[in-house]
Structure 1
């Protein structure tokens, strides 16, 4: 099985989000807090489109679950009274994985930001990423 090619430069979408949207009402308090923290960053970078709102919602939901599970683990512990592992640990791990994947898709991780062309405002004639360019 082959992997697809990764884009070298973001292409401006025809439906960019120009104003920070309100967090969906069904999100938890922690998820809404993350939405209010991250959405302005994405709008400012001009990389959030209408099509990306679902990814942003998934990211914020996952972060909300991570925080909720973390709070539960802090009060209840990793091991339950019956000696079994607290299910919140598995929920937190799964939510962390989802959050990391969504964060990467949204350009919210250091690695994602360091990829060539992560800026939507990049000059198409700029060849500074060309290792053969004469400087």
Structure 2
């Protein structure tokens, strides 16, 4: 059915539109009327206690930068926890594969067939989850390209932490 709510591109959040530098050349008034999203406070949610040690380390590694870029609020806790849990699963599986060497990649079934090991399957699925959820936060090159800036850089008189963090991730 044409013209329903699922048609066309998804609307961009206001902060992403601002990071891109207003490529549509719309006035601030027009943009403010189009944006129908509630204003959420940019704030890092608390790290869930159930995450593994590696997942918690990943949480601490990325949450500050997401906060500086304005890409996180307390409502994003579940999505970020899913990303960090996938990271922890992937890291654990990869460490096991390295420990098992050849057997970490290929196993032999009781009937003699060779197949992808259980650890390799776990690593592959965790990687898929990590990439899918990481896309929501701009945590891979293609997602960052969608957030890319479209405006010329100007010199600044004072340090700009948000700009520096964006430059660090290639935005």
Shorter-chain TM-score tier: 0.7 to 0.9
Give the count of matched residue pairs: 119
1:40-60 Cα shifts (integer Å, max 9, x gaps): 110010110222111100000
> What is the Cα deviation at residue 101 of structure 1?
0.8
CA distance in 2, matches of 1:15, 1:58: 21
SS at match of 1:15: coil
Runs of 4+ in structure 1 off by over 6 angstroms are none
SS at match of 2:14: coil
Paired residues for 1:1-135 under 5 Å: 4-7=8-11, 9-11=12-14, 13-18=38-43, 20-76=44-100, 77-80=104-107, 82=109, 83-115=114-146, 118=147
1:83-122 Cα shifts (integer Å, max 9, x gaps): 543201111101101100111111112221221xx38xx9
Bigger fraction of residues in helix: 2
> What is the Cα deviation at residue 74 of structure 1?
0.9
Where does structure 2 lack aligned partners over 5 or more consecutive residues?
A: 16-37, 152-171
Where does structure 1 lack aligned partners over 5 or more consecutive residues?
A: 129-135
Quick one: higher RCO (CA 8 Å, sep 6+), 1 or 2?
Answer: 1
1:4-42 Cα shifts (integer Å, max 9, x gaps): 5233x3235522333x44421110111011001111110
Which is greater in Rg? 2
Instruction: Sort the Cα spacing of 1:3 and 1:111 in 2 relative to 1 into closer, same or farther, 3 A.
Output: farther
TM-score, structure 2 as length reference:
0.60
CA distance in 1, matches of 2:139, 2:68: 13
Over the aligned positions, Cα root-mean-square deviation in angstroms equals: 2.7
